[in-house]
Amino acid sequence: MTAPLTNTAPTDPIVAMRDVDMAFAAGRVDGRPVVQQVLHKVSFEIGAGETLGLVGESGSGKSTAGRIVVGLYEPTGGSVTLFGQPITGPDRRANLANVRSRLQFVFQDPHAALNPRMRVGSSIAEPIEIAGRHSRKDRDDRVRQLLEMVGLPRDSADRFPHEFSGGQRQRIVIARALALEPGFVVCDEPVSALDVSMQAQIINLLMDLQARFGLSYLFIAHDLAVVRAISHRVAVLYAGSIVEVAPKPDLYARPQHPYTRALLDAVPRPDPWRERPPVIAGEVPSLLAPPPGCRFHTRCPHVMPRCRVDVPRLQSTGPGRLTACHLFDEGGIAAVPDHSSRPASHVER
Amino acid sequence: MAAAGRSNEPLVSIQDLTVQFRTDRGWTTAVEGVSFDIGDGDCVGVVGESGSGKSVTALSMLRLHARGTSRFPTGRVLHAGRDLLTAPERELRRIRGGDIAMVFQDPMSSLNPVLTICDQISETLRLHQGMSRPDARRRAIELLDLVRIADAPRRVDEYPHRLSGGMRQRVMIAIAIACRPRLLIADEPTTALDVTIQAQILELLRDLRAELGMAVMLISHDLGVIAEFARRVIVMYAGRVVEDAPVEVLFRKPLHPYTEGLMASMPSLDGADTATLYSIPGRIPDPDETIAGCRFGPRCSYAEPACSAVPPELVSVDGGHRVRCPPRTRTVTPTATGARQ
Amino acid sequence: MTDLSIRSVAVSPVLAPRRRFMLLRRLLAHRSFQIGAVLVLALTLAAILAPLTGVDPSSMRVRLRFRPPSEAFPFGSDNFGRDVLTRVLYGARVSLWIGFVVALLSGLCGAVLGVIAAQIRGLDAPLMRLMDALMSFPAILLALGITAALGPRMESVIIALTVAYVPAGVRIVRASALVVRELDYVQAARIAGAGNFRIMLRHILPNSVGPLLVHMTFVFAYSILAEAALSFLGVGVQPPTPSWGNIIAEGRDYATEAWWVMLFPGLGISLAALGLNLLGDGLRDVLDPRLKGTG
């Protein structure tokens, strides 16, 4: 991962989400059915061999986005295309079946990701078995090969999940994800449930595998430091909308959207001498009744009258950078002070 | 209150605490030989990964473990002249929520879903201070204001499920500080919360500590949280204290190899973007795994033959810095110092 | 310190030595389970070894009727002069067999139907309404109706009781299955393209049956009691084939003269029910943290 693959959105993406909406029915209020808009006009693309980090807090919709991308949920609006095949719309099932072997998913909770009653080898071999293309012997060989690839002893195949630690189970989950040589893997918080020392091992493993096999990842996490280690580009989600997309070095050095900055400021650093930036107030708005205009305006230190009315759209704010914020309208990048100095009060326009 | 005389004696003194749990394989040692003091108004951070024993230590301070399946073969937890490990249950109940209060990690399950916020805060007020219902309600509203919950008079009558995670944690803190405890133990209070909410809660804890003059013991696995909050840090590994130092000292010059390794394996937000992350080789031992000598030995790059022969002792290096690692403490020449914690 | 190659960092150490059959060992060490198992095994053994008494359960020695327990008749003799001990032992065969088969069959049906109800949404509502309808009849009345319709025989009793106890099993399994269905490993199987059948068979079923196993031991006990009740009502196993229930039923008429005729089969029923309940308690305690199917 020494040279970033692309600084701009890929020209030939293998994953393309366009204007995806996701609404869940949420019961009734006063007799009228109420809907929770979990995702709103979410768009992003991922090219071959690259990692897009998807960052957000609770209520951001990032997990839902991950599940939509692998076809577990069908979005209520917009389109999703994988390896050139649309998995939304009329040919959904057929197309999904075609690309299925090239997709995979790594889950967050290593304790729930493996069937406790199945031997580990069987769990890993299951995708191969379902695809039905290989003999028993081929499957066993492949399982052994996969175990070695993820750094587990070969005799692990006969054991049950409870005989392994959390970090080891996560390796098993990764082995299963690689069984059919996928091109694209969605990793949903794969290291959040692990100890710090184990996190580093798993992240290194994921990067190693990416380099070897040219995998693409959608890396979903709330931990900005972990995302920084593994991503090429990063997209930030807030309350169901993407607020910023940028190449990794740019996002962390020069974040543009006020939420991105607030997020970066809020992460505690192992540095007792650091001057603590002001803490942002408020909480993520309810998705049942989101605030009008920009969903972040209720907490934004730079809120302007316009923000309360107009929903900002993602616009280009630099090479490979997209930001959805009225501060950047009409190319007004200069309006926002540099990351290093904090404004004490609102910026009025 | 003889303040002058009391300030020399630590608020809580944990001495050689060992905690064992009963499993189907017999008694397993979760924590061994833990010793540290917490003084009045101190701000102590306890950091460690899973299996480090940090939560077990905290729960043991208030003897919250089930009686049948836990025991304390050695050690004392001294507070106000009593050993909390052997004090009668009646006394302990007075201390819990009174002198020493605790906030837990998961606000979702820490609040009773069928009682209103008012009921839950009032419970502790009426138990410890014998307040009447209307007085307790008034105080509950005051407390909600103190923990910065907006619209307190209305919120106080709500049920927990109507509150977000961050607000529930504030309520937990309100309950904990209701009787003005002298020590607040917070066990991973922000781990289940979003980063921006975490920052708010930590700021709240800092402010409350200043306003109420209470000591805080913050337990976390996150070195960042510890760095920004604690004045003194205790690092635990596999059930033992491995390092104990003032926060600046620890971050400027960590001595124990585990502390060093932990800091190195944290992915950073600001520093150089490395191609691979450092990770400590090996894995955390199970509590019932017997390891000869130092429990970190098998993973340690400074290990010497002596390390797997004799379990190392916690040794004092200068500046109130204690380390459990002979190879590393030998390289540091302790300066004659009268500095006391 | 930062210069560690990926290979050496990625490999994790040797796994801990295997500790097999942990569940079984824990079960065998559980006090209630031990006592229950001993009781049930003893009764089963007694039933199997019934022929060892050397006496024909139907042979009547009318002149020796109503003899209290003695050396010739350890459990006494009944109104036809038959040896109560032998009849009770042969009766054990029938009653225990009925209990076992009902528990097994109702468990199997419950498991299958419960998993189907949880996984196939279209079938969920109709299945559960059907189960509700069945459950709204008291088990005994239901069994009564069915045995009356099919004619009173052991097979009818088995069918009737199975039908009566299936709904509870379905509910239990469905509840677990609904939880298991949302777990990540099931999602992983779906992503890999697994069809409903595979998911139900390999993933949901094995992880939802914990509570059902416990329930089945109780169904075993209930069935023995229910069989007795049915015999009382005259629609159970018909004489001269002895079952605990019909021995008691027959002995009711002369309870004051020959209390031993009711006592011993009654004891048998009580001990069987007790043993099975204890077994079930032990099973539940051991399986408890695993009842949610996440290990």
Q: Enumerate residues 6+ apart whose C-beta is below 8 A from C250.
A: C78, C79, C239, C261
Q: What's the rounded Cα separation, in Å, for the pair B231 and A225?
A: 24
Q: A residues 247-286 near B, CB within 8 Å?
A: 248-249, 252, 262-274, 276, 279-281, 283-284
Asked if A207 and A259 sit in the same domain, the reply is no
Q: Are residues A189 and A295 in the same domain?
A: no
pLDDT given at position A227: 94
Is A177 contained in some domain? yes
Residue A4 lies inside a defined structural domain of this protein:
no
Query: Taking the CB of residue A85, how many other CB atoms lie within 10 A of it?
Result: 16
Q: Given the structure tokens 């693409």, which residue do they identify?
A: A216
| Average pLDDT score over residue span A286-313 | 88
Q: How far apart are CA C162 and CA C164, in angstroms?
A: 5
- B282 vs C contacts (CB less than 8 Å): 12-13
User: Alpha-carbon distance B148 to B141, whole Å?
Assistant: 11
Beta bridge partners of A80: A17
C10·A201 Cβ contact <8 A: yes
Neighbours of B109 (CB within 10 A): 12
Q: Are residues B264 and C13, on separate chains, in Cβ contact within 8 Å?
A: no
Query: Which pLDDT score is estimated for C50?
Result: 85
**Which burial class, exposed, middle or buried, applies to C151 when counting CB atoms under 10 A from its CB (0-12, 13-18, 19+)?**
exposed
Name the burial class of residue B330, with classes exposed (0-12), middle (13-18) and buried (19+) by CB atoms within 10 angstroms of its CB: exposed
In this structure, the dihedral spanned by the alpha carbons of residues C179, C181, C186 and C192, taken in order and rounded to 10 degrees, is: -160
- How far apart are alpha carbons C143 and C163 in whole angstroms? 8
Q: Does B207 touch chain A (CB under 8 A)?
A: no
Compute CA C135 distance to the chain's CA centroid, rounded to the nearest angstrom: 18
Residue A273 domain-assigned (yes or no):
no
**Please, are residues B267 and A228 in contact by the beta-carbon 8 Å criterion?**
yes
CA distance to C56, C228, C244, C261, per residue, from C258 (Å):
20, 19, 16, 6
Residues of A in contact with C295 (CB under 8 A): 111, 116-117, 160-162
Minimal-distance CA residue of chain B relative to A60? B194
Task: Please provide the average confidence, as pLDDT, over all residues in chain A.
Answer: 86
Say whether residue A163 is in contact with chain B using an 8 A CB cutoff.
no
Output the CA–CA distances (angstroms, integers) from residue B159 to A267, B167, B170, B177, C159, in the order listed. 30, 12, 14, 20, 49
Retrieve residue B88's tokens: 């009668």
Beta-bridged to residue B233, according to DSSP, are B45, B245
State the Cα–Cα distance between residues B183 and A339, nearest whole angstrom: 38
Tell whether A143 and A51 lie within a shared domain: yes
Closest to A150 measured CA to CA, from A185, A181, A178, A125: A178
Q: Which of these, C217, C202, C212, C184, lies nearest to C291 by C-alpha position? A: C212
List the 95-154 stretch of A: residues with Cβ below 8 A of C: 97, 100-101, 103-105, 107-109, 111-118, 123, 126-127, 130-131, 150-153
Name the token pair of C89.
């032992």
**Confidence band (pLDDT; 50, 70, 90) for A347?**
very low
Which residues partner with B22 through β-bridges? B27
Task: Give residue A341's pLDDT.
Answer: 39
Question: Nearest-CA distance from C74 to chain A in Å?
Answer: 50
Quick one: A179 and A303 in the same domain?
A: no
Task: Calculate how close chain B gets to A68, using CA atoms only, in Å.
Answer: 23
- Mean pLDDT of the region C156-184: 92
Percent above pLDDT 70 for chain A: 91
Could you tell me the pLDDT band of residue A1, with boundaries at 50, 70 and 90? Answer: very low
How far is C237 from C226, CA to CA, in rounded Å? Answer: 12
Phi, psi of C284 (to 5 degrees): -65, -45
Residue B109 contacts by C-beta under 8 Å, 6 or more apart in sequence? none
Tokens of B143: 């407390």
Q: How far is C210 from chain A (nearest CA, A)?
A: 12
In the structure, what pLDDT confidence band is assigned to residue C271 with cuts at 50, 70 and 90? Answer: very high
Report the pLDDT averaged over residues C256-267: 87
Distance CA C15, CA A163 (A): 8
* CB < 8 Å to C12, chain B: 282-283
In a domain, A8, yes or no: no
Subunits close to A (at least 3 CB pairs below 8 A): B, C
d(CA A312, CA A329): 9
Tell me the sheet residues that pair with A39: A22
Question: Which tens digit of pLDDT belongs to each residue from C128-143?
Answer: 999 999 888 887 888 8
Instruction: Please give the C-alpha separations between residue B234 and each of B18, B66, B206, B334, C1, in angstroms, as whole numbers.
Output: 17, 26, 18, 19, 23
pLDDT of residue B324: 93
Eight-class DSSP state of C16: P
Same domain, A181 and A294: no
Minimum mean pLDDT range among A330-339, C43-52, C246-255:
A330-339
Which residue of chain A comes nearest to B203, CA vs CA? A279
Eight-state DSSP code of residue C77: B
Closest approach of chain C CAs to the CA of A336, in angstroms? Answer: 37
- Chain A residues with CB under 8 Å of C192 CB are 100, 126-127, 130-131
The average pLDDT across C55-61 equals 82
| CB contact residues (below 8 A), chain A span 152-181, against chain C | 152-153, 155-156, 159-164, 167-168, 171, 173, 176
Measured distance CA(B290)–CA(B301) in Å, rounded: 20
Whether A6 is covered by a domain: the verdict is no
If we measure between CA atoms, which residue out of A143, A105, A106, A142 comes closest to residue A121? A143
What letter would DSSP give residue C203?
A: I
Its sign, for the CA torsion C156, C162, C165, C167, is negative
Tell me how many domains chain A contains: 2
Do residues B31 and B239 lie in contact, with contact meaning Cβ atoms separated by under 8 Å?
yes
| Joined tokens for residue C194 | 């697994």
Nearest Cα of chain A lies from the Cα of B266 at a distance, in angstroms, of 7
Are C293 and A162 in contact by the 8 Å Cβ rule? The answer is no
Q: Which residue has the higher pLDDT, C11 or A92?
A: A92
Residue A248 lies in a domain: no
Residue B198 sits at φ, ψ, to 5 deg, of: -60, -45
What is the overall mean pLDDT for chain C? 84
**What three-state secondary structure class fits A221?**
strand
Same domain, A214 and A290: no
Please report the pLDDT score of residue A235 as a whole number: 96
Residue C109 sits at the vertex; the CA angle it makes with C105 and C113, to the nearest 5 degrees, is: 175
CATH class of C27-46+76-290: mainly alpha
Tokens of A171: 């390796």
Tell whether the torsion through CA atoms of A315, A317, A322 and A327 is positive or negative.
negative
For residues C205 and B114, give the distance between their C-alpha atoms in angstroms, rounded to a whole number: 34
What CATH code is carried by the domain that includes residue A141?
3.40.50.300
- Give me Rg for the CA atoms of chain C: 25
Give contacts of B220 with chain A, Cβ < 8 Å: none
The sign of the CA dihedral C98, C103, C105, C106 is: positive
Q: How many CB atoms lie within 10 A of CB C126?
A: 10
Is pLDDT at A4 greater than 50 in this prediction?
Answer: no
Whether residue A229 is found in the same domain as residue A296 = no
Among A218, A170, A163, CA closest to A193: A170
Around B335, how many Cα atoms within 13 Å sit in the side-chain half-sphere?
7
Give start and end residues of each alpha helix (H) in C136-209. Answer: 139-150, 154-181, 184-191, 196-198, 205-208
Instruction: Name the percent of chain A lying above pLDDT 90.
Output: 48
A344 inside domain? no
Neighbours of A84 (CB within 10 A): 12
The answer to whether A274 contacts B228, with C-beta atoms less than 8 Å apart, is yes
The nearest alpha carbon in chain B to C27 belongs to: B24
Q: What is the pLDDT of residues A220-248, one digit of tens each?
A: 999 999 999 999 999 999 999 999 999 99
User: In angstroms, rounded to a whole number, what is the distance separating the alpha carbons of residues A38 and A63?
Assistant: 10
Instruction: Compute the nearest-CA separation of B61 from chain A (Å).
Output: 25
Please report which helix (H) or strand (E) contains residue C222, including its range.
helix C210-232
Give the structural domain span for A326. 255-268+281-335
Q: What are phi and psi of B235, to 5 degrees?
A: -100, 130
Query: Which residues neighbour A182 within 8 Å (Cβ) at sequence distance 6 or greater?
Result: A101, A102, A103, A104, A215
Specify the amino acid at residue C232. F
Residue C9 and residue B281: Cβ atoms within 8 Å?
yes
- How far A36 CA lies from chain C's nearest CA (Å)? 20
Quick check: C4 and B301 CB within 8 A?
no
pLDDT tens digits for range A74-95:
999 999 999 988 998 888 888 8
Q: CA-nearest residue of chain B to A200?
A: B279
pLDDT at C218: 92
CB-based contact B270 A269, cutoff 8 Å: yes
Question: Residue C195 has which token pair?
Answer: 């069809």
**Chain C interface, mutation test: which of A68, A95, A96, A115, most C Cβ atoms within 10 Å?**
A115
Q: Coil, helix or strand for C129?
A: helix
Same domain, A117 and A234: yes
**What is the DSSP pairing of strand A184-188 with strand A216-221?**
parallel
Its ipTM equals 0.84
Residue C289 pLDDT exceeds 80: no
- Please tell me whether residues A221 and A310 are part of one structural domain: no
Tokens 């043993």, residue located: C275
- Residue A3, pLDDT > 50, answer no
DSSP state of B308: G
Domain boundaries of chain C, sorted by first residue? 27-46+76-290
Per-residue pLDDT of chain B (341 residues; tens, 9 = 90+): 344 444 578 999 999 999 999 887 788 999 999 999 999 999 999 999 988 999 999 999 999 988 888 899 899 999 988 899 999 989 898 898 889 999 998 877 888 989 999 999 998 888 888 889 999 999 999 999 999 998 889 989 999 988 888 899 999 999 999 989 999 999 999 988 889 999 999 999 999 999 999 999 999 999 999 999 999 999 999 999 999 999 999 999 999 999 999 998 888 888 777 778 888 888 888 888 888 889 999 999 888 888 888 889 998 988 789 999 988 888 765 544 444 33
The per-residue pLDDT for C6 is 35
Closest Cα in chain A, distance from residue C21 (Å): 12
* Partner-chain contact C207 A115, CB within 8 Å: yes
Question: Is residue A214 located within the same domain as residue A292?
Answer: no
As a whole number of angstroms, the distance between CA A17 and CA C191 comes to 18
In-domain check, residue A25:
yes
Burial class (CB in 10 A: 0-12, 13-18, 19+), C45: exposed
CA atoms of B21 and B43, how far apart (whole Å) = 29
Q: Is A77 on the interface with C (CB under 8 A)?
A: no
Residue written as tokens 């730079």? A302
Q: In this complex, which of B166, B269, B279 lies closest to A269 when CB atoms are compared?
A: B269
Same domain, A179 and A301: no
Cβ <8 Å between B281 and C4: yes
* Other CB atoms within 10 A of residue A339 CB: 16
Q: What is the number of H-type helices and E-type strands within chain B?
A: 13, 13
